[in-house]
Structure 1
Amino acid sequence: MTHKLMALPLLLSLAACGGHEETRKEPPPPTVSVARVDLRALDGGFTASGRLIPREEVAIAPELSGYRIAHVQVEEDAQVRAGQVLAVLDDALLRAQIAQARAQLTQQQVASDKARMEAGRVAGLDNMGVVSQEAIDQRRIADRSAQASVGVARAQLDDLLTRQQRLTVRAPVAGRVLQRSARPGEPSASGTVLFTIARDNLVELDAEVPEAVMGTLATGDPVKVVLASGISVDGRVRLLGARVNNQTGLSTARIALPVRQDLRPGGFAQARFVKAKAPVLSAPEGAVHYDADGAYMQLLDGRDHVHRVAVRTGRRAGDMVEILSGPRRGDRAVMGGGAFVLEGDRVRVAGEKAGA
């Protein structure tokens, strides 16, 4: 009986120790589902609308003011070649000035010939006493002065002849006449546009693109452009806008189009941006999370510990999203249960997403 009483406290002590160990046992790690970051062919794309514009619009204005428009040689929508005459200004006023300038040049040339001959008569008579040195110097100065007067008269005539040539308005480039505002009988005004030409008939679509997808585009990307008539035209991204409108959140993409007669600047068109179906690094959209710092993913290392990685996303197709930067191919991304784990936590993987 005595031995039984001594053993009882020992058993109670051991039982108490065992219960304490049970309470100190760590809880199991949370269970999460994961998906692989891998290469996949993404379909889809996005659409954007905009207006057709000339790639380069050339405005043609007269260089001289105050001359009446005598003739207009082309109409709107005409095809013109470089150097072709578009309009002619009346040169009646210049013709009289040119005739007067030519007469003045002739007079100056005659006076110059006379002065040159008089200077020639005293050539070699310096310091010989036949003619005073002062008279010799005066004839030579008169000869040089007459030559200078001839140069001035010739320059004035050349200026008038140049003005006469500029009264003919020519096309600086080949292309399609988009606008004609020149009307016969109206006086010309320097800086007033008479004609507008689309250089080489090149028209492109100025598409308004959301800022969020600008990073997914690149010059040379194929684009399907649908005109207002319903006709579909193949184009390519030629230029991406460098700025985003701070009011609309839209940027621009210039879509180069083939030369076609039915492409009229100012018209409406819609573009569908479709990348080639080459495999890209992607993951399910559920693996990408967002907070105040931007998009991120929770990746698992080899010991199933969670690590946060910032990501940059691209195109979306179905429930998949393109990964432009951050994770690497083969990484495991936390899907379900990710809201309850933190950086460095160890988790238990329930299984990867089927088909991922």
Structure 2
Amino acid sequence: MIFKPRPLAMTLSLTLLLTACGGSTDGAKEPPPPTVSVALVGERGLAGGLSASGRLIPREEVAVAPELSGYRIARVMVEEDARVGAGQVLAVLDDTLLRSQIDQARAQLSQQQVAYERARMEAGRVAGLDNQGVLSQEAIDQRRIAARSAQAAVGVAKAQLDDLLTRQRRLIVRSPVAGRVLQRSARPGEPSASGTILFTIARDDLVELEAEVPEAAMGTLSIGDPVAVTLASGTKLTGKVRLLGARVDNQTGLSRARIALPINPELRPGGFAKADFVKATGSVLSAPERAVHYDADGAYMLLLDKQDRVHRASVRTGRRAAGMVEIVSGAKPGVRAVLGGGAFLLEGDRVRIAPSGRP
């Protein structure tokens, strides 16, 4: 029997068919796990590191307005940026019209006092004449009533005079507190209006920084924490956290921290300043910043179990310094965290640890 050689094309087709049907002797190899670098989450000394900016504002802003309306401003005694004491005269209103009313009230009081003296003497003459038949009881009672009525009229006239004198004293506008005049809107010649602010004063000349702080960082701050503040001029001051905001702005996601500052002539409300929150160095749970990832749900870390499998854990971060970040919650000490490359790893993936990243 004579065998003819098969064509080359037929041989290649048969080989491909056997390979597709699993006829190949070499099985498909599973790809190796990805290689990652890891770092331990552990207790480390970490300084502050949180920075924020904001505007300088008075701790307490006092508005000074006249209590009387319709009186012309005669004199303004202080200018903007002046330091004033409690009770110091800021402005004087014209009392010309009031003085004439006071003179009339004094004259009327004098008349009422004379009338009362006459009525009192008339009532004194009938003292002890009741039921004596000298005068009728009606006449006696009328004199006594007239004396009491005249006495009441004296009281009314005196009250009217006191009211006018009180008004006259209120024409002098005084500072209710000691502090620094931030704004002066009083101008001589203008009529006064009750409720119209003439002066704005920073009580005790206290100015502080209202820093805008991210919501995630608010939990790392405490009342009394030291703060290094840098003014726009470059001047550096040391302050401390006096008040922490109770709410977060819906649009910006920022809260506010009030930072008390020492009295300094360079502190001008409305100015810009930067705050560096510096806590004393302490041992906190931390990890490299590269181990913390972010998405729409917030911060998270990719942690490895004993079998080198990936598990996602949501975390809350705090202070940052020197490439490290504080882990407030979400991870335990000693756990291994993947550094970078989190977007290519899924829950449960097995990984291979690079030699330089093995704990």
With structure 1 as the length reference, what TM-score do the two structures score?
Answer: 0.78
- What letter corresponds to residue 126 of structure 1 in structure 2? D
Give, in whole Å, the separation in 2 of the partners of 1:352 and 1:102.
102
Aligned pairs for 1:299-310 within 5 A = none
- The Cα of 1:126 is off from its aligned counterpart by 2.5
User: CA separation in 1, counterparts of 2:311 and 2:153?
Assistant: 90
AA paired with 1:212?
Answer: A
Q: Residues 126 and 214 (structure 1 numbering): CA distance in 2 closer, same or farther, change over 3 Å?
A: same
* Residue from 97, 122, 134 that aligns with 1:130: 134
1:306-340 deviation per Cα after TM superposition (whole angstroms, max 9, x unaligned): 99876432123355331324555x45355489955
Q: Measure how far apart 1:83 and its partner are.
A: 1.0
Letter in 1 for 2:232: A
Provide the residue aligned with 2:28 in structure 1.
none
In the alignment, does 2:281 pair up with 1:277?
yes
The residue aligned with 1:16 is none
Question: 1:168: Cα distance to partner?
Answer: 0.7
How big is the shift at 1:159?
Answer: 0.3
1:175 to 172, 176, 179: 179
Task: Give the direction of change, closer, same or farther, for the CA distance of 1:317–1:69 in structure 2 (3 Å limit).
Answer: same
124, 140, 143: which is aligned to 1:139?
143
Distance 1:304 1:141, change over 3 A: farther
Q: Structure 2 residue aligned with 1:85, among 74, 84, 89?
A: 89
CA contact (8 A) 1:240 1:254 kept: yes
Note if contact 1:115-1:139 (Cα within 8 Å) is conserved in structure 2: yes
SS of 2:90's equivalent in the other structure is: strand
8 Å CA contact 2:232, 2:273 repeated in 1:
yes
1:270–1:292 distance in 2 versus 1, CA, 3 Å? closer
Is contact 2:71–2:95 with CA below 8 Å preserved after alignment?
A: yes
Supply the distance in 2 between the matched residues of 1:211 and 1:45 (Cα, whole angstroms): 16
Single out whichever of 230-239 and 161-170 deviates more from structure 2: 230-239
CA distance in 1, matches of 2:358, 2:50: 25
In structure 2, the partner of 1:234 is 238
The answer (yes or no) to whether the contact 1:176–1:199 under 8 Å persists in 2 is yes
> 2:37, 2:357 within 8 Å by CA — same for their partners in 1?
no
Counterpart of 1:209 (choices 209, 213, 220) is: 213
Indicate how the Cα distance of structure 1 residues 300 and 47 shifts in structure 2: closer, same or farther if over 3 A, else same.
Answer: closer
Please identify, of 245-254 and 156-165, the stretch whose mean Cα deviation from structure 2 is larger.
245-254
Does the 8 Å CA contact 1:207/1:252 hold for their aligned counterparts?
Answer: yes
8 Å Cα contact 1:35-1:353 kept in structure 2:
no
Work out whether 1:332 is the aligned partner of 2:338.
no
Give the counterpart letter for 1:94 in structure 2: L
Q: Which of 253, 260, 264 does residue 256 from structure 1 map onto?
A: 260
Given that 1:37 and 1:327 are in contact with CA atoms closer than 8 Å, whether structure 2 keeps it comes out as: yes
Report the Cα distance in structure 1 between the residues aligned to 2:358 and 2:123, rounded to whole angstroms: 106
Contact 1:34 1:352 in 2 (8 A): no
1:59-70 alignment runs, 5 A limit: 59-70=63-74
Aligned counterparts of 1:185 and 1:352: Cα–Cα separation in 2 = 85
Cα distance in 1 for residues equivalent to 2:305 and 2:126: 108
Please tell me the residue identity of whatever aligns with 1:332.
Answer: V
Once the two structures are TM-superposed, the CA of residue 179 in structure 1 deviates from its matched residue by: 1.5
Residue number among 185, 189, 192 corresponding to 1:188 in the alignment: 192
Aligned equivalents of 2:162, 2:248: Cα separation in 1: 51
- Which residue in 1 is equivalent to 2:79? 75
Q: Distance in 2 between matches of 1:267 and 1:250?
A: 19
Kept after mapping to 2: 8 A contact 1:36/1:352: no
Q: Note closer, same or farther for the CA distance 1:137–1:325 as it changes in structure 2 (3 Å cut).
A: farther
- The answer to whether the aligner puts 1:39 opposite 2:43 as a matched pair is yes
Q: Choose the corresponding residue for 2:317, options 313, 317, 331.
A: 313
CA 177–355 in structure 1, closer or farther in 2 if over 3 Å, else same: farther
Q: Distance in 2 between matches of 1:54 and 1:256?
A: 10
Tell me which residue corresponds to 1:101.
105
Identical amino acids, percent of aligned pairs: 74
Tell me by how many angstroms 1:354 deviates. 6.0
Shift of 1:161: 0.2
Per the alignment, residue 16 of structure 2 pairs with none
Taking the aligned partners of 1:123 and 1:305, their CA distance within structure 2 comes to 114
Alignment correspondent of 1:114: 118
Which stretch shows the higher mean deviation, 242-251 or 278-287?
Answer: 278-287
1:243 matches 2:247: yes
Does structure 1 conserve the Cα–Cα contact (< 8 Å) formed by 2:119 and 2:143? yes
Distance between the aligned counterparts of 1:291 and 1:206, measured in 2?
29
Q: Which runs of 5+ in 2 are unaligned?
A: 1-33
AA aligned to 2:153 is S
Contact between 1:64 and 1:167, CA under 8 Å: does it hold in 2? yes
Cα drift, residue 287 of structure 1: 5.8
DSSP-derived class of the 1:110 partner? helix
Q: Check 1:355–1:116 CA distance in 2 against 1; reply closer, same or farther (3 A cut).
A: farther
TM-score between the two structures when normalised by the length of structure 2: 0.78
Contiguous gaps of at least 5 residues in structure 1: 1-29
> C-alpha separation between the residues in 1 aligned to 2:297 and 2:92?
65
Residues 267 and 288 (structure 1 numbering): CA distance in 2 closer, same or farther, change over 3 Å? closer
Q: 1:304: Cα distance to partner?
A: 10
